[in-house]
Chains A and B, each alone.
Chain A
Amino acid sequence: MALLELRHVTRRFGALEAVHDVSLSVEAGEFFTLLGPSGCGKTTLLRMIAGFDQPDEGQILLDGKDLADTPPEDRPIHTVFQSYALFPHLSVADNVAFPLKMAKRPADEIARRVREALEEVRLADKAQAYPHELSGGQKQRVALARGLVNRPRLLLLDEPLGALDAKLREEMQVELINLQRNVGITFVFVTHAQIEALALSTRIAVMSQGVVEQVDEPDRLYCAPRNRFVADFIGKINLLDGHVIASGSEGMWLEVAGLGKIVMSSVASSTHTSKGTLAIRPEQVRILGVEETTTAENCFQGTVRDLIYHGDVTIYTVLLANGLPFKALKPNSAPGRAKFFEVGDAVRVAWPKEAGIFLDH
């Protein structure tokens, strides 16, 4: 049985449907992420799981038991808030002790568990400090210790890394994964940052406008997005819309207006549709000089419109014959060379027929 199960959950605010018919199940021990742009309903969903909001329709079950009549204070679910929500009048130790005090644990047990929790997040030396004396990363760790100390069945994290700078963010990501593995508590993590979601999660639910678009493991989401939204939201991708003109065992041909025919591996489910899209990641596309030869089946002329130098790689945007900007990634692995092409250079982009994903909607 799933630890947390959402069955056809819908939440409306006036005419707006913030969450529409969401069904999900989270297994014990998972690092489950709700990923989506702001306003997609992921925070509303989190508030309903915590108990601060009630679904208009559907059920939320924990260990198979409906939570509808359980107020937030009685749910074995704790939250790490985006703003941390540390109590400013309490020391770090007292903040962490708060859930244990509310659960009326004996004093010696509270002292021991607070010490353990603070050691877990490497803040034992800050026990007597007050929240205003801590850095952002330290506050974050206190909030985590406070959320975990009473061993909830589920820990909800509402964009907890949102307020940290990039470097600290990366450190905290590693720390979060380790912490979750050590304590073995199920995490439900909310974020709009897809890189964070890919790095941390066991599974990800991609949400858009109140609807769950796809639930999958990070690599499945990246390599096999189910639709345009997921493909576009996770990572960078090129989308070429066209008509299916031929399909057989040796391949499928797509006619793209102003560009020509594209060949790709045939997809069993797509034989019925006439319209379709090829989604292809920049790292699957080779960028070549005009005189270079290639064995790839698809090869198109274009000019470099702009390039973004990342150090390890450069991402070129090539303007194709149909006026479409097309991204290609090239590693800067050749010694002594940072850039291969300049803006305005005539180039070709090429990819084999096995590359890319066919999206039929």
Chain B
Amino acid sequence: MATPAFADLLKFRLHKNLTRWLVSGPPFLFLLLFFLAPSLIMVLASFRYPGEFGGLAPLRDANPAVLQGLTLETYRFFFSDVIYAEIFFKSFGMALATTLACLVMAYPLALLIARSPRKHRDLMVLLVILPFASNFLVRVYAWMIILGPQSAFAHAIGSALELFGITPVPLLFSPVAVLIGMIYVHLPFMILPLYTNLEKHDPVLLDAAQDLGANAWRRFWDVTFPLSLPGIFAGSALVFIPVLGMFAIPDILGGTRDMLIGNLIKEQFLGVRDWPFGATLSIMLTLMVLAWAGFSMWLARKWSHSHA
């Protein structure tokens, strides 16, 4: 009997499609409404004039004296002053430094956790994510105290510098303080993907490498490290991108002169109330992140090919 079989198949297909929509529909709608739509609004805003009291100028106004319609003015402004390029450059440097510092610090720790007995691993992972249990701002403010001129830490650093004949400089409100804060906040985002990757490595591969003549150094660089590249890339993206847009840490720990892109954008929206320029800066930032991501993916592919 072919007909009932066909009907069954159809029902199965419909059922499968319905399930697919039920599962993927809500997140799809959410992203459409709260991610795609605002992004498009931002793109549109970057081509408009600022309103008289913040916000955006109307697209059409009866009074011809009022600025209206679409313009490239904000982009012209962005490229007219080298200061914006400098801030972008500085932010990139900060993001790069934070990413590298996090990688160097997180790798041994992730390796240690991954190679610990299974019963200890969960506890160690819990300790890594424990800082998330308290408020991010509170933790950054705590660094204000640690790095402040009265702290034992600042005194110790000061005395150490004096030993080498260097006049101590205040730690707080400096790029160094911002870097410390950035590293501190983002370290778990590097540790977790690295650990997740390292934990999956088959230990027999290290046995095989050793059996075939690899000492501990070669076992790391020829087996563990290349196998952990996906984890390194994931962790680097999770640190680099948020650091690039971060404004709270430079606001709290940085000096007034250490403005990063995040602070600049925030200023445009909340301080200067120039929404179109803020939107322009955001779009430039997004474009740069995409360019960077594309570049590093290309680099990763080239690298893994040269090693293949």
Contacts and interface: CB of A to CB of B under 8 A. Distances in A.
A binds B: yes
Interface of A: 50-52, 71-74, 77-79, 81, 83, 85, 87-91, 94, 98-99, 101-103, 130, 146-147, 150
A185 B205 CA distance: 24
A91 B226 CA distance: 13
Interface stretch (B62-70, B102-110, B206-214): B206-214
Given A52-B207, A87-B209, A89-B227, 7 more contacts: A72-B210, A73-B212, A78-B211, A79-B208, A81-B207, A87-B223, A98-B222
Nearest to B215: A73
Interface residues of B, number: 20
A50 B211 CA distance: 7
A71 B214 CA distance: 11
Interface in B82-141: none
B218 interface: yes
Contact of B205 (A52, A72, A79, A87): A87
Given A83-B204, A85-B202, A85-B208, A73 B308 contact: no
B257 interface: no
Contacts of A85: 202, 204-205, 207-208
Contacts of A99: 212-213
What DSSP secondary structure best describes chain B's contact surface? helix
Contacts of A81: 204, 207-208
Given A50-B211, A99-B212, A94 B204 contact: no
6 contacts: A79-B211, A87-B209, A88-B227, A90-B307, A91-B308, A99-B212
A102 B207 contact: no
A94 B214 CA distance: 14
Interface of B: 202, 204-205, 207-215, 218, 222-223, 226-227, 304, 307-308
Given A90-B308, A102-B218, A73 B213 contact: yes
Contacts of A150: 212-213
B227 A98 contact: no
A267 B218 CA distance: 60
B308 A102 contact: no
Contact of A73 (B202, B210, B307): B210
Contacts of A89: 226-227, 304, 307-308
A73 B211 contact: yes
Given A85-B204, A85-B205, A89-B227, A78 B308 contact: no
Contacts of B227: 88-89
Nearest to B226: A89
A98 B209 contact: yes
A99 B215 CA distance: 11
A52 B202 CA distance: 16
Given A88-B227, A89-B226, A73 B208 contact: no
B204 A103 contact: no
Contacts of A71: 210
